[in-house]
Amino acid sequence: IVVFDRKSFCRYGCLIGRISGLYALIAPIEVRSRAKSVCASCKTKDCFKGNAKGYGCPTYEYLGKMEKNTYCIMCMECIRSCEKENVAINIRPFGVDLLKVHQAQEDEAALLLVMLAMTSFHGLTMTPLWFAWTGWLEEWFGVGYMAAFTIGMIASLIVVPLFYFLVMVVTWIVLEKTISFMELILKTAYVFLPIALFYHLAHNVMHFAMEGEKIVSVVSDPFNWGWNLFGTALRPVGPLMSIYTVWYLQVFFIIIGHVWSLYIGHRVAIHLYESKKSLKAEFPMVVAVIVYSLISLYLVAQPMEMRSSM
């Protein structure tokens, strides 16, 4: 409150808020102005500044110029404050914001690559391979598990963006350097958002299936104070679905993310490159999408070391 006015921390400082904002680019719902012309003629800008009926936008979004979901937290204050009733909640195609490459931003692209690395890292840390690696690091460097974990995390956060950078170098060469390298890196990064989202979903299917039923016992003893409000505190906990069902769901999610990223990549390539070069330029990106998808499949196929007790 002292440093950040309204909810500017959600816009500029909160990592969870920024990740949610990136995922919101895929959402099928948006809050937008009904007519830009009405916003242009508005003198009070109540949606932005607020009035007696509602607060100004907490993340400083102005409906007259807003075209993406990234910073909208759907608090609906703009609906209350707009005197001209020029605010609409629209249903739209999934992922339409990913095609707006003209609005690509450096910070979003960088965070997207970090998020892609972190989602894979999150799953990797629950596999036997991770414990083998950290054990090797502990022995090789003579450090404890925390230091080995930190080294592995930093390495993971470097490898994924580095791989993306190398793929973009190859793409740039294929394009005969006819486009700015920074523009290529910036606008192509959004292609990998569906992979990150659907791997995240695939990974958490396992947690939901294995641990979801714990909610039945937790509601009886929410503070772990020995309560049994509904007589379910001591109820045995089991999986919600079979391991085979979980696997099929995980593969299903990863395939959706894979195909969606290929589609977005194709559309972005057509937008960025000449038609005769788009197919050649897509090839390195297609290879990268396949590699990420195979890594995702490998991770969900590994036996997971659950972090919370059953």
Q: Which domain holds residue 16?
A: 8-99
Cβ-contact 8, 60 below 8 angstroms? yes
Chosen domain end from 99, 134, 157: 99
The Cα–Cα gap between 88 and 35 comes to 9
Q: Let me know whether 135 and 238 are in one domain.
A: yes
In the structure encoding, which two tokens stand for residue 72, read together? 């909208």
The Cα–Cα gap between 240 and 230 comes to 20
Q: Which helix or strand (DSSP H or E) is residue 181 part of? A: helix 181-188
Residue 145 in any domain: the answer is yes
Confidence of residue 308 (pLDDT cuts 50, 70, 90): very low
pLDDT > 70 fraction of the chain, expressed in percent and rounded: 96
Q: Let me know whether 95 and 130 are in one domain.
A: no
Please tell me the predicted confidence (pLDDT) of residue 310: 36
In sequence order, the 6+-apart residues with CB closer than 8 A to the CB of 84 are 38, 42
Q: Residue 243's Cα: distance from chain center in Å?
A: 26
In the structure encoding, which two tokens stand for residue 185, read together? 């890196």
Q: Let me know whether 44 and 117 are in one domain.
A: no
Chosen domain end from 47, 76, 99: 99
pLDDT digit string, tens, across residues 105-135: 888 899 999 988 988 898 899 888 898 988 9
For residue 309, pLDDT beyond 50 = no
The Cα–Cα gap between 53 and 291 comes to 52
The Cα–Cα gap between 205 and 116 comes to 18
Tell me if the pTM is above 0.85: no
For residue 154, pLDDT beyond 50 = yes
Please tell me the predicted confidence (pLDDT) of residue 276: 58
Confidence of residue 179 (pLDDT cuts 50, 70, 90): confident
Q: Let me know whether 281 and 207 are in one domain.
A: yes
Please tell me the predicted confidence (pLDDT) of residue 255: 94
